[in-house]
Amino acid sequence: MIETEHSALRMSFVLVLLGLTLATGCGDKEAIKFGAVVPLTGEQAIYGKEIANGIQLAYEQLKNSPKPPNVELELVDSKSDPETGKAELERIFSEGARAAIGGVTTPEALAQVEIADQKNRVLLSPSASAKELTGISSYFYRVWPSNTREGGKMGQYAAQNLNMKTAAVLSADTAYAQGISSEFGSSFEQNGGKLLEVIEYPKNTEDLTALVERVISLKPDGIYVADYAEAAVRIIQMIKADGYAGNILTASAFATPQAIAMAGSAANGVFVTLPQFDAEDDKTPEVKAFVDAYRAKYGETPGNYAAHGYDAFNILYRASQEGGDKAHSFWKGMKAIKDFPGATGPLQFDDKGDVTKYPRVYFVNEGRVVDHAAYREKLLEEIRKQREDLERQMRALANSTSS
């Protein structure tokens, strides 16, 4: 009798376990959780808010698809503070996030990559560009090209395309600014230019008057400004107000709609390096779809940072489908991505986690960021057509006169 009861209990226990197993197997799969830690307040919110808009749009599109996957996103504010961002990322990973978007700026990326290493989780930066982040961790990736490429491109372009013979640099003494200005200077000199002086100043310096006067007194063909948006805006305004007639060049940190609006007329003619993204491109399906959706949701045209936030989220989801089915091995999904059709062009990563794409040189024209090489080509084409029209008219006039 006792043995019979024990057998019945064992059978009941097996049936319960089987029922739980079947319920788990037949029900919804466990949600894929992603996190995003970006500066929504503080001095770096000028980038973070735009990036967050792109992330949120990509997430909503995925959730509103015909067969929406079980995906969750937690987007939190780093408050433009590396330590806050670090703590938030640790919490998000501890609560089950498979991977996260974070490290909008170089200081935040350097702080957060420590957590990615500790937790064996992938951290994807939408915009940090310092070269010291290259290969810093097998769990760190970025969709924005490193400042090795960005500063190098501007140095080459200044010498070869803008025909600058001399240049001077105004740079903050931060890792981001020093890194990108160093690459600019090296590239400029390698391409035949002469770097007159590099003038550095402490971060958050209030009075930059003497420094601006000093760099203008050198009479360079161009001045390269390396800093984040707020300081870059002030410096560019001061340089223009002083009547400087040479080229003003700066880094991608300046190229947000807000910074350009803050700079006002002083922004016109400023050269800036950016990853390729053209919001007016209506021939590339991925770009048009993103821009149309962004305008419909936010009532404005997206900038480069919004596009990179959008691509960052879509990359994480694709990686989850390409082998990133577990948090500790999510990097396998990242490695499997080849020529992903993003809003910022085809995306894939090299063996150090850097995206394999190159920046281009743009300039501000009537408040808009325009591809400079394409703009010049268009102008030259218009001049060629005008010359041909004039030659035809002259020939027609000559023929009518002779007859």
Confidence of residue 126 (pLDDT cuts 50, 70, 90): very high
Do 342 and 386 lie in a common domain? no
Average pLDDT of span 69-96 = 97
Q: Determine the 3-state secondary structure of 342 from DSSP.
A: strand
Do 181 and 323 lie in a common domain? no
Do 308 and 320 lie in a common domain? yes
Separation of alpha carbons 200 and 186, rounded Å: 16
Give DSSP secondary structure letters for 340-355: EEETTEEE-B-TTSBB
What value does the mean pLDDT of the chain take?
90
DSSP label of 324: -
DSSP label of 376: H
Structural domain that includes position 387: 372-398
Give the model confidence (pLDDT) of 6-27 as tens digits. 444 343 333 333 333 333 333 4
Do 155 and 238 lie in a common domain? yes
Average pLDDT of span 273-290 = 91
Residue 166 lies in a domain: yes
Average pLDDT of span 363-370 = 92
Give the model confidence (pLDDT) of 145-167 as tens digits. 998 899 999 999 999 999 999 99
Average pLDDT of span 299-320 = 97
Confidence of residue 401 (pLDDT cuts 50, 70, 90): confident
Give the model confidence (pLDDT) of 201-229 as tens digits. 998 888 999 999 999 999 999 999 999 99
Do 38 and 136 lie in a common domain? yes
Residue 167 lies in a domain: yes
Query: What's the CATH number where 212 sits?
Result: 3.40.50.2300
72 and 35 in contact (C-beta within 8 Å)?
no
Residue 113 lies in a domain: yes
Separation of alpha carbons 2 and 173, rounded Å: 81
pLDDT at residue number 186: 97
Do 68 and 193 lie in a common domain? no
Do 156 and 262 lie in a common domain? yes
pLDDT at residue number 280: 87
Residue 386 lies in a domain: yes
Q: What is the largest CA-CA distance in the chain?
A: 128
Burial of 123 (0-12, 13-18, 19+ CB in 10 A): buried
Separation of alpha carbons 181 and 177, rounded Å: 6
Do 223 and 367 lie in a common domain? yes
Separation of alpha carbons 250 and 149, rounded Å: 14
Average pLDDT of span 367-375 = 89
DSSP label of 31: P
Residue 112 lies in a domain: yes
- Percent of the chain at pLDDT > 90 equals 76
Using CA atoms, how far residue 290 sits from 37, 48, 278, 308, in Å, is: 22, 18, 11, 11
Collect all residues with Cβ–Cβ distance below 8 Å to 75 and sequence separation of at least 6.
35, 36, 38, 52, 55, 56
Do 92 and 170 lie in a common domain? no
pLDDT at residue number 29: 67
User: Domain total for the chain?
Assistant: 3
pLDDT at residue number 203: 86
pLDDT at residue number 403: 62
Residue 196 lies in a domain: yes
Confidence of residue 180 (pLDDT cuts 50, 70, 90): very high
More confident residue, 363 or 4: 363
Using CA atoms, how far residue 119 sits from 17, 74, 85, 269, 336, in Å, is: 31, 17, 15, 46, 21
Residue 20 lies in a domain: no
Enumerate the β-bridge partners of residue 36.
75, 101
Do 295 and 315 lie in a common domain? yes
Query: Side-chain half-sphere of 268: how many Cα atoms within 13 Å?
Result: 7
Do 237 and 306 lie in a common domain? no
Neighbours of 350 (CB within 10 A): 11
DSSP label of 203: T
Separation of alpha carbons 228 and 234, rounded Å: 11
DSSP label of 30: P
Separation of alpha carbons 105 and 256, rounded Å: 14
Do 263 and 192 lie in a common domain? yes
Instruction: Identify the residue whose tokens are 């290259």.
Output: 134
Q: Taking Cα atoms as reference points, which of 286, 168, 303 lies closest to residue 226?
A: 168
Residue 6 lies in a domain: no
pLDDT at residue number 393: 80
Average pLDDT of span 68-79 = 97
Separation of alpha carbons 100 and 89, rounded Å: 8
